């Protein structure tokens, strides 16, 4: 198959591209605007593979989308291109409305026109897979409640509202025009190549530099954590085996309070980076005033985010029952792999933090 992946230079998108190139015989067309969160270095060796192609295109640009569809003739679409950071959506919601709503609409229309032009066999095998988030459901009330595929939407932030809107558009294009769609809603992803503004990489890198580890409110917000490579496997399962018109929730079965995640990272860093000057062992060796404090002493509680949902948790029984997918990583094994990856790839982190990954790509200061 030829699979068009939008947002394939982003965190989840790059994991999908690496999975497809590394584990299947399918070809990938990576379509990405390359905003601040798009980093071609996250693709690793996949970017030089003969089954990989890249197009720097904005999903809001209909003419360019039509060109890409005509030139590459994809069999499947995996739509991951989106603005996705909640804090950024609160500070500047316009970009989220533009990309997540209007961009999805534009992509749907380009895909519909292309799909309508295919012969009967290719038209029957075509799929439009829209990748969304569990944040469209709002938050949960009881400690035993779980998000299912039929949970009513109740988004709390401009980001989640824009993703909810895009979900509704995709379903409407299926109902009205017959476009063969699939939707997935996932829990919080983590793993290699995660942009440093997100919680886990931010805590890892701040701790290594002795900077404060910011925790919203009391840190009692609960999230279900999904290792990004498990998510990539699930997405490929859905786009190749999922039933047209269906929604599949994808979760990691790993509910953790944010403060527990932060302290878990600190403990792993104590083990994996004992020579760091901010570690407990280093403090003990210096006999400093902060003996025994270590990385956890950097935890800093900050004012909570407006409209912050308290608890997310996914019921992923449908995808397990119907498609046979389950996560391979527990939170403990996945977090260990993640911390170790950042320790081993500090140069990638530095290039993201100082912006050099963008400057070299654009050939100018950004």
Distance of alpha carbon 32 from alpha carbon 119, whole angstroms: 28
Q: Which of 75, 72, 35, 81 is nearest to 53 (CA)?
A: 72
SS3 190: strand
- Structural domain boundaries in the chain: 2-193+225-253+311-330
How far apart, in whole angstroms, are the C-alpha atoms of residue 56 and residue 54? Answer: 7
Give the tokens for residue 293. 């404090």
Q: DSSP assignment, residue 147? A: B
Grouping H, G, I as helix, E, B as strand and the rest as coil, residue 120 is: helix
pLDDT of residue 289: 46
- Is 195 in contact with 11 (CB distance < 8 Å)? yes
Residue-level pLDDT, tens digit, the chain, 366 residues: 999 999 999 999 999 999 999 999 999 999 999 998 899 999 999 999 999 999 999 999 999 999 999 999 999 999 999 998 888 999 999 999 999 999 999 999 999 999 999 999 999 999 999 999 999 999 887 778 999 999 999 999 999 999 999 999 999 999 999 999 999 999 999 999 999 888 999 999 999 999 999 999 999 999 999 999 999 999 999 999 999 999 999 999 899 999 999 999 999 999 999 999 999 877 655 544 444 579 999 999 999 888 888 888 999 999 999 999 999 999 999 999 999 999 999 999 999 988 888 876 655 433
State the pTM of this model: 0.92
pLDDT of residue 4: 98
- DSSP output for 212-241: -EEEETTS--EEEEEEHHHHHHHHHHHHHH
Helix axes 199-208, 258-272, angle to 10 degrees: 40
| CA pair distance 212, 72, nearest whole angstrom | 47
Angle of the 11-23 helix axis to the 228-241 helix axis, nearest 10? 60
Tally Cβ neighbours within 10 Å of residue 110: 22
What's the CA gap between 301 and 81, in Å, rounded?
32
The first and second tokens of residue 222, run together, are 């609960």
Distance CA 322, CA 295 (A): 43
Which positions are catalytic?
134-135, 159
Q: What is the pLDDT of residue 244?
A: 98
2-193+225-253+311-330: CATH topology: Rossmann fold (3.40.50)
Round to whole Å and give the CA distance between 98 and 297: 41
How does strand 222-227 pair with strand 255-257?
Answer: antiparallel
């Amino acid at each position: 198959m030829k699979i068009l992946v939008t947002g394939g230079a982003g965190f989840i998108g790059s994991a999908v591209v690496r999975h497809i190139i590394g584990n299947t015989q399918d070809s990938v067309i990576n379509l990405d605007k390359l905003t601040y969160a798009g980093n071609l270095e996250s693709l690793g060796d996949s970017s030089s593979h003969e089954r990989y192609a890249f197009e720097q295109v904005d999903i809001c640009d209909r003419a360019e989308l039509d060109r890409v569809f005509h030139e590459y003739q994809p069999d499947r679409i995996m739509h991951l291109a989106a603005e996705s950071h909640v804090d950024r959506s609160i500070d500047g919601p316009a970009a989220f409305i533009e990309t997540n709503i209007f961009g999805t609409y534009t992509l749907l229309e380009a895909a519909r026109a292309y799909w309508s032009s295919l012969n009967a066999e290719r038209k029957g095998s075509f799929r439009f897979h829209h990748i969304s988030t569990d944040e469209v459901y709002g938050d949960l009330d009881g400690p035993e409640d779980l998000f299912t595929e039929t949970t009513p939407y109740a988004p709390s932030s401009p980001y989640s509202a824009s993703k909810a809107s895009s979900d509704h558009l995709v379903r409407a294009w299926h109902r009205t025009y017959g476009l063969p769609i699939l939707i997935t809603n996932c829990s919080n992803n983590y793993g290699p190549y995660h942009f440093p503004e997100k919680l886990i990489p931010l805590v890892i890198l701040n701790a290594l530099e002795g900077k404060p580890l910011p925790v919203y409110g009391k840190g009692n917000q609960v999230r279900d954590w999904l290792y990004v490579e498990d998510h990539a496997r699930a997405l490929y399962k859905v786009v190749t085996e999922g039933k047209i018109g269906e929604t599949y929730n994808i979760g990691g079965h790993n509910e953790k309070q944010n403060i527990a995640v932060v302290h878990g990272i600190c403990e792993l860093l104590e083990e994996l980076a004992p020579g760091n000057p901010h570690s407990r062992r280093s403090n003990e060796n210096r006999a400093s005033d902060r003996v025994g404090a270590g990385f956890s002493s950097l935890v800093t509680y900050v004012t909570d985010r407006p409209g912050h949902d308290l608890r997310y948790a996914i019921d992923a029984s449908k995808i397990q029952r119907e498609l046979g997918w389950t996560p391979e990583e527990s939170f403990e094994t996945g977090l260990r792999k993640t911390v170790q990856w950042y320790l081993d790839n500090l140069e990638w982190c530095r290039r993201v933090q100082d912006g050099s990954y963008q400057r070299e790509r654009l050939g100018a200061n950004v």
